[in-house]
Structures are given as structure tokens and as C-alpha cells.
Structure 1
Amino acid sequence: MGWLAAGDGYEVALVEGRVAARATSGRAAGRQLKSLPKALKDHPEVERLRRFAEWLDRHAQACVARVDTWMVSSLPVPTRLLASVWPDEAWRAALRDLVVLGEDPDEPGFLRDVTDAGELRVVNLDGETVRLSPEAVTLPHPVALPDLDELREFAAELEVVQGVEQIHRATWVKPDSLKEQETQRKAFRGGTYASRFGLAARATSLGYQVSGGYATCRVWDGERVVDALMWIGEPYWDGQAETGDLSWQDVNGHPVQLSQVGPVAWSEGIRMAAALYAGRTIVEGRSA
């Protein structure tokens, strides 16, 4: 975005997401000022840029949230769709360097570019840039990546920084020793918060939904949608609150046995529970 006239002797523009000003006359002409002059703080052009910057932030967050949903679900994403959004800087920042899978599920690679025609340029584990033209690709959840350790090592060599947490996402593998008919996981029970409001606020700040007495996380796991739910207390309780049991249910609200929970839903549910438990009040000293 270029510089726009604002008042007598100044121009303003968005620089790295913030409104900046520069003088158009005098000894400082053409030089960006360290701070916004008082005369410009309430100028209409400055206010317009501030609102635009806020919109850009919301747009970037929405792009990250959407790509995160694609990745967690591992659903196919049409390459034409990727080509249409790639020119947008916010979409590109969310998508670039994610591991993608085309027609060959054994050939993962880091997405580097998408052409207008929908051709993908991907860096594979041999360090070669290859061109792919599948109808759709998947952005696999890390529990679905057999070469995850190798991908992490290679990403470190390439100094890859992903806009959406994928290969360095915390994952949990479902244990084999689950009891028959068991529907609740109790490992994260008892994380104490000063208030139920504080516990709910942590859940929403981490991107989870709060519905009734639960923090929830919806996951497309295989061929069905599953909700992970963690009890966080009655909605209008104003006293101390604790994390409760973790469970899963289908879209009709029927409990899912732990042995029937898929690997992605299991990992994402435990990830939510661990994050909420980690925010608990830690008591130190003799009475801890």
C-alpha cells in the first residue's frame, strides 16, 4: 500500500500492520517518523487505516483457522481452490510450507508455491522441488504422517516456519490397554482454576468452543464427525472450578467408546484436555 496524504505536510501508510507517518516537507521530508504526530491521531485517513489494519488481522486469523480445519480433518482440498487463494498474502502465509500429499500417499512434501493453473511446487524429502498437478491434495494431521520424525528433521534443516501448527503439533497416540465399554478419560481431572470464567476464557482463547458445561473440539475423523468434550463446570457457577473428565460423542450426542475413537479425534481431544489442565493454578510450598 502506498503513502496517502493526511493533513498539511504529512503522509500516512500501513507499515508492518501499523499506521506510520512521514513528513512531506522540511528537513525530514520523505523520512518515516518514529511515532505518529499528535496532529494526525484523529485524522480520518489515519482512522481508516486503523480499521483496515484490524480487518487484515481478522482476515489473517480466519485464514489460519480455516487451514487448521483442513489439516485437522485431513479432507481433500481442491488444487483449484489453493490456486485461487494463493495470491492473497494471508492465505499464502497460512498455507506455505505445510506438508501436503497428492496422488501418492507415500510422497509427502512441503508446499512452496501454487501457480495460477493449480500446479503445486513441493519440496520432497530428497530436497528436490517437484511439480504436482493432482485434482486435490490433503494437508495431513501429524498422527497420519508415517515420516513425521524425518519431516521434522528436514524442516529444521530448511528452517521451515509453518503458519499453521502441523508437524510440530503436540500429538498423542491412543493406548492399546483401554477397557471395554469405557467412555471417559480421567487423566486430566482436577485442574483447579480460581473461577469457572477463567477456565472458560482459557478454552476460548485456545480456539475451543464452550457449550453448556463443556469445552468442545469438533474433529472429522475418518468417515465421521466426532466431538471431544471436557467438563469445565456449570455455566453460571462463580466459584472455584476444576477440569473434569474427557469424553467423545458423535454428532447425535451419543457417547463413543474410547476404543472406537479414531487416532485424530483422540489426539486432538487429549491435546485440548492437556492444554486446559496445563493452565491450572499451581500451589507451591508445604500445602501444595
Structure 2
Amino acid sequence: MGWVETAGGYAVTLDGTRVLCRNTAGRTLKQVPAKLRDDAEVVRLRQLAEWLERHGRECRSQVDTWLVRSLPVPARLLTQVWPDAAWQGALRDLVVAPVGADGCADTGRAGFLRDADPERGLGIVDLDGDSVRLDAEQVLIPHPVLLDDLDDLREFAAELGVEQGLDQLFREVWPRPDSADGTALEWGAYADAAFEELRHATARAVSYGYRVRGGYAVCALTEDGRALEAAYWLGDDYPESETRTGALEWRTVGGRRVPLGEVGPVAWSEGVRMAALVHAGRVLKNEYDESEEGGTGEL
């Protein structure tokens, strides 16, 4: 946007979500002068910047929901929101795959989303490096655990200079190990993690966007049309009390625990991702029983 004149010969503008100010000599200042902070134009731009930041978060959250819940997205919807910079920032360079009439995604025709035009459809760079258009009415933004040759895709993305606004290709994935007992109702790999205070564990879960309900960190999921939730026990004592995490489980909307063998690859990966993120903040005890914050955050 252009510069807006304000009091004292100053002018202000918005650069992304940052308010800039220049003086009467035309020099851009490091910050908005204190005497202008309550100026009507400055206040208006700050409110706009706050709205843009909130809108950007909402766009990324919606696209993340499409990815995590394996929800087909109408191509027409993408063409409608594409002109919005926030939507485009969340969608650009994501791998998309056309969905056929049978409801299945054709990952063999997947590519990096580069354009969405109402007349010409979705433009992608396919996995051969060619620019092509998709004529499908719906597309899937595949979870990386569903993508074949994920390492090759990551390497190809680096060669293209792809910078995704949403973690897709470089999202942590956890395939279900062969050692998992398909009849078991819980996965204990992240159980018994110690936290000095329960609120530390719950705050860590919330900081990554998960809800905490009834003592569990909860991640809502949908796979193959079935709604599930992954639930990781944190504890239900006082917020200041010590706690140890429990096992990870998957449940239907009605509360039935799902055997591990019935948990799909996306639901498994996202459930374990949630548990791993919380678990990484645990307190470790060394051989001298001295506490130190656990983990480096690397998963």
C-alpha cells in the first residue's frame, strides 16, 4: 500500500504486518515516534496488521486441517481464495494430488501447487519438473506419510527452491512399527514421562495447538471418512502437582478405544507426533538424581 499522510508531516504505511513511518525528509524511521502512537492513521494500520496476522493464522490452520484429516478440497475453492496473499502463502508449493470420481487421490499425478486460476484450473509443477494443469474437481493435500519416496520428494523440493508456508514435506512422520501389537488398545512408547508440574505438560500441548480435555492431550483426526481422536494421558491432579504421562490411545467419537491394528497411517503418525512433541519437554534424571529439562526439541 502507499504512504498515508499523518500529523506533523510524517507518513505511515504497512509493510506486511509492520507499520513503517517516514519523516518530512522522506527517510524511513526505525520505529514509529511515540507522539504518533495514538494517531488515528497509525491506530488504523495497527488494527489492520493485527487482523492480517490473525487471518494468516486462520488460513494456515484451515489448510493444516485439510492435510491432517485427509479432506478432499474443491479445486474451485482454491481458485477463489488464491488471490488472497494469506491463503496463497499457506497453499503455495504444497504437494496436491487430483481426486478421481471414485474418491481416491492419484498421487502419481501429484505436484507442487503454483497457481489457481478460475479459467485454467490448478497449475502445478509435477514430479518430472513439468508445468501442467489439473482438471480434477477436487484435490487432496496428502499427508507426507501417504507419499511414496518421501525422501526423493524432499530432495526434489530443495532443488526447486520450494519453501512451503505449511509443514507438509518436512513434517515429522511416524509409520506404525511392525512390532506394534495390532490387538492392543494403547501405545506405551511415550508413557512415564516426568514433569515437575502438570501445567508444564498441558501448556506444552496447548502451545502446539492441541486441546487438553479430561487429563488428556487430544488431537482430532479423520481417516477414510472415520472421525477419530488421538489421546495422550497427561494427568488430572492440581496444575502445580508432579505428573507422569500415560499411554497414547485412539478413540472413536463415541469413546470406543480403537485397536492399534485399525489405526490408519495418518492417524497413527499424527497421534505419535503429538505425544512426541509433549514428551520432548519432560524432565530427565541423571545418575546423581539432578534434574534437567529433557530433550533438545529434536524429534
Normalised by the length of structure 2, the TM-score is 0.90
CA–CA separation in structure 1 for the residues paired with 2:153 and 2:250? 30
Task: Give the 3 Å change call, closer, same or farther, for CA 31–285 of structure 1 in structure 2.
Answer: farther
Counting only pairs closer than 5 Å after superposition, residues 179-194 of structure 1 correspond to structure 2 as 179=181, 181-194=183-196
The one-letter amino acid paired with 2:149 is: D
Q: Which runs of 5+ in 2 are unaligned?
A: 101-105, 291-299
1:133 paired to 2:135: yes
Deviation at residue 180 of structure 1 after TM alignment: 5.3
2:280 is aligned to: 278
Is the 1:243–1:276 Cα contact (8 Å) retained in structure 2?
no
CA–CA separation in structure 2 for the residues paired with 1:269 and 1:180? 16
CA–CA separation in structure 2 for the residues paired with 1:69 and 1:235? 31
1:72 paired to 2:74: no
2:233 is aligned to: 231
1:173-212: CA deviations, max 9, x gaps? 1123333531011111122222111211111110111112
1:4 paired to 2:1: no
Deviation at residue 118 of structure 1 after TM alignment: 5.8
Identity of aligned residues (%): 49
The one-letter amino acid paired with 2:134 is: L
The one-letter amino acid paired with 1:14 is: L
1:85 is aligned to: 81
1:49 paired to 2:45: yes
Deviation at residue 6 of structure 1 after TM alignment: 1.8
CA–CA separation in structure 1 for the residues paired with 2:237 and 2:32? 44
Q: Report how many aligned residue pairs link the two structures.
A: 284
C-alpha root-mean-square deviation of aligned residues, in Å? 1.5
Deviation at residue 164 of structure 1 after TM alignment: 1.0
Deviation at residue 235 of structure 1 after TM alignment: 5.8
Deviation at residue 221 of structure 1 after TM alignment: 1.1
The one-letter amino acid paired with 2:231 is: L
Normalised by the length of structure 1, the TM-score is 0.94
Q: Which runs of 5+ in 1 are unaligned?
A: none
The one-letter amino acid paired with 1:44 is: A
Deviation at residue 39 of structure 1 after TM alignment: 1.5
Task: Give the 3 Å change call, closer, same or farther, for CA 283–12 of structure 1 in structure 2.
Answer: farther
Task: Give the 3 Å change call, closer, same or farther, for CA 235–100 of structure 1 in structure 2.
Answer: farther
CA–CA separation in structure 2 for the residues paired with 1:152 and 1:88? 27
